Structure 1
Amino acid sequence: MLTVGDKLPEFVLPVQQGVSALPADETIDLGKKDGKWKILFFWPKDFTFVCPTEIVGYADLKSDFADRDAVLIGASTDTTHVHFAWRKSDERLAAADFPWIADNGKKLATALGIVHPEEGVAYRATFIIDPDNIIQHVTVNGLNVGRNPQEALRVLDALQTDELCPCNWTPEDEVLRPAA
């Protein structure tokens, strides 16, 4: 599995975003450096139970991530048309306005090392990637346990300080300053 310090693979992949029109060959270039942090999070499958709670949780914090120069990118091993159908079926998902990678060939999930060996779907993996496309944080959950998007935001805040941040640090707390 790729981890902290590794470079995000430079793939151009299909994405689906919004519900106004059927997918039309939109793509995302993960090698693009646009000065933004990326919060890339995979879920196992569309039309499941835990996954929408996570997607909505991240979507609820989209403006908070944007305030920190970070973009949300969702992903699963489903197709763009499955993503579209799922969004159309649930108004909360339709409102999750960020790109969803359709990694149905498992190209990115395999390169990241997050494909469940028996189920053939991605683990619940979150990657926080800096503006130079270097992975700075990784968390991976099993298929049945959802994540805490607020924790991803807290970790992003800590990473952006470029300081020593103690356990349970929040932006209101002091960073650690070693004695000189």
Structure 2
Amino acid sequence: MKKIVFFLVAFTAVIACKDAKTTDKTADTKQETKAPEMAYASYGEKIDAENVLTAAEIKEKYDNMKVGDTINVKFTSKINSVCSKKGCWMRLDAGNDEEVMVRFKDYGFFMPLDAKGEVIVNGKAFVQETSVDELKHYAEDAGKSEEEIAKITEPSKTLSFVADGVLLKN
């Protein structure tokens, strides 16, 4: 009787090990057919990297806009800075020492605090006048010194953008 019980336990162990090996092979096969990693990290709504304007082209569009004008556009640019507290805004290079102030639609997503490099943003571009108080707030978020913040005394025309989707180049 002991021999029969021993034989059943050994047989069950062999069958269990065989099934485990089959599962491992299946997992290996899935890894082989895995899609290659994307060249971009995606934030917000899904967007693609097609039909994208350059920073110079978006600057031309902004030059032809007045306060209150809005256009839907997708463009690529270099990140100059990101909100150091939450990642709730970023400034993108527009060329000629100008920047585009990007916020995120309905605060639905944020950028990594250490985000650097190239991004593609999709959304609404517009020109707005930014108050002194708001400019000081942004300067505080960016970690500017008290002296730099005190120098802000006049409102400014801001190239603004509300992004619904962002691709950050890996």
TM-score of Structure 1 vs Structure 2, range by shorter chain: under 0.3
| Structure with the higher fraction of residues in strand conformation | 2
**TM-score under structure 1 length normalisation:** 0.23
Indicate the structure (1 or 2) with the bigger Cα radius of gyration. 2
| Structure with the higher fraction of residues in helix conformation | 2
**TM-score under structure 2 length normalisation:** 0.24
